[in-house]
Amino acid sequence: MPTTVEPVQVQEPDLDDEVATDRPWIVLVWNDPINLMSYVTYVFQKLFGHSLEKATELMLDVHHKGRAVVASGNREECEMHVFRLHEHSLWATMEHDQ
């Protein structure tokens, strides 16, 4: 019995999916009722090497706006930042940059 091969339609990959994986990640620190503002400032200086002025600015964003972006990069780097922030009892998450 002869077999015929019919053409198969191949779906092209969605380019939006490819772009989404290239977007950098950001690390967010969220406000909490536990940590003192001076401690949060200290942690930002210690972990990210920020000046007192920059660390204070980020801490005030956390305090007044409820969150601040403290770092960005590839997924592995941001996972490490979140882990280290958790070790210092800060509430941190990561997400794709907008």
33-73 tens-digit pLDDT: 999 999 999 999 999 999 999 999 999 999 999 999 999 99
pLDDT surpasses 90 at 11: no
pTM (two decimals): 0.76
CA distances from 85 to 2, 14, 42, 53, 66 (A): 66, 35, 12, 19, 16
Q: Does some domain include residue 4?
A: no
Exposed / middle / buried, residue 61 (Cβ in 10 Å: 0-12, 13-18, 19+): middle
pLDDT score of 94 more than 90: yes
What total of structural domains would you count in the chain? 1
State yes or no: pLDDT of 10 exceeds 90.
Answer: no
Parent domain of 89: 23-96
Within-domain flag for 59 = yes
- DSSP-derived secondary structure letter, 89: T
Residue % of the chain over a pLDDT of 90: 74
Specify the CATH number for the domain of residue 40: 3.30.1390.10
98: pLDDT strictly greater than 90: no
